[in-house]
Amino acid sequence: MSLRKKEERRFILVFLAPAFLLFTGLVFLPAIRALLYSLQKWDGLGTPEWVGLRNFARLLRDDDIFLVALGHNLILFAIAGGCTIALALFFASILSQKIRGASIFRVAFFFPNVIALVAVALLWILLYSTTNFGVINAMLAQVQGAAAAAGLPFPEIDLPFPFLQSRYLISSIIPMIVWSATGFYMVLFLAAIGGIPQSYYEAARLEGASHFQQFIHITLPLLREILVVAAVFMIITLMKFFDPIWVMENEVPNRDSHVLATLLYQKVFTEYDMGYASAVAVLLFLIVLAASAFSLTWSRKERIEY
């Protein structure tokens, strides 16, 4: 072992240690701890008691609130996530065509993504309000009036519609998510479309393919991988979804409006049921893990090289 090697080894140790210690102490070990908590019955004060998988049995069998909350997460993922990705793809395909002002649209569309979700939620509380300043209800009333005057069919709903009531909250949050997240995914897709060689499109144009055909046969297949990345990212974000529900429900969500994260929070800080809450967290982790693993293997298999 030369002196130089010794010095190098010490340098490696010194540079890795702080990050390693902090990450191990505050992320890795607590994650292991959470797995242990999920196998225990504990109120946070007394001595924990081993119960094996009973917490998981409880949350899957005893009451269905866990499944209801999980269902809400999945609804958000399917509808809000689906709409966001579809819209982002649509905007990205338009903006990649070198139209005038593309950069202005790109910058503006991304902007809602940088606003704190808490602030977004408060903004939408105002937009959804049932009083005279509820912008969305006012617009609906206008549309309803115009439709009635023109004799066009319009769903018979009583306005103002109580968007912020617990039982409609999950549906009401969908447009909010689309509003705030679309810009991010659009930038992601724009980058990927920018990486597709222009010659492909030129060849397709020579063959007489329409814009739509080009999109279906060139853009979409080549974007498969990034679409999978986007879907995984969406699952990770929407499984953790917490802030807007918490703020809109004034810190007391109920059966109608719970998602996994709010349920977990309530179990810990109002019911002191650490085991149940940890079991929720562990299942949440497993869902994210499974989704990512599945998508990674799937996209590897289907990889297109160009």
Site for other proteins in 170-199 (CB under 8 A): 179, 182-184, 187-188, 190-192, 194-195
220 binds other proteins (CB under 8 A): no
As a whole number of angstroms, the distance between CA 27 and CA 137 comes to 44
- Which range, of 70-78, 87-95, 144-152, 213-221, touches other proteins by CB under 8 A? 87-95
37 binds other proteins (CB under 8 A): yes
Cβ(63)–Cβ(304) below 8 Å: no
- Which range, of 49-57, 58-66, 70-78, 126-134, touches other proteins by CB under 8 A? 126-134
Distance from chain centroid for Cα 283? 17
135 binds other proteins (CB under 8 A): yes
Per-residue contact string for residues 138-157; x = within reach of other proteins by CB under 8 A:
--------------------
Phi/psi-derived region of residue 227, left when phi > 0, alpha when psi is between -120 and 50, beta in every other case: alpha
With contacts defined by CB under 8 A, how many residues of the chain interact with other proteins?
90
As a whole number of angstroms, the distance between CA 201 and CA 209 comes to 9
State which of residues 31, 86, 139, 147 lies at the interface with other proteins (CB under 8 A): 31
CB of 179 to other proteins, least distance (A): 7
127 binds other proteins (CB under 8 A): yes
Smallest Cα–Cα separation from 262: which of 236, 241, 237? 241
In terms of CB distance, is 118 or 147 closer to other proteins?
Answer: 118
What letter does residue 158 receive in the DSSP assignment?
P
State which of residues 1, 19, 152, 206 lies at the interface with other proteins (CB under 8 A): 19
As a whole number of angstroms, the distance between CA 278 and CA 41 comes to 10
Residues 6+ apart with CB under 8 A from 236: 288, 292
Token pair in block for residue 83: 């709409």
Per-residue contact string for residues 42-61; x = within reach of other proteins by CB under 8 A:
--x-----------------
As a whole number of angstroms, the distance between CA 36 and CA 39 comes to 5
CB of 270 to other proteins, least distance (A): 13
In terms of CB distance, is 170 or 223 closer to other proteins?
Answer: 223
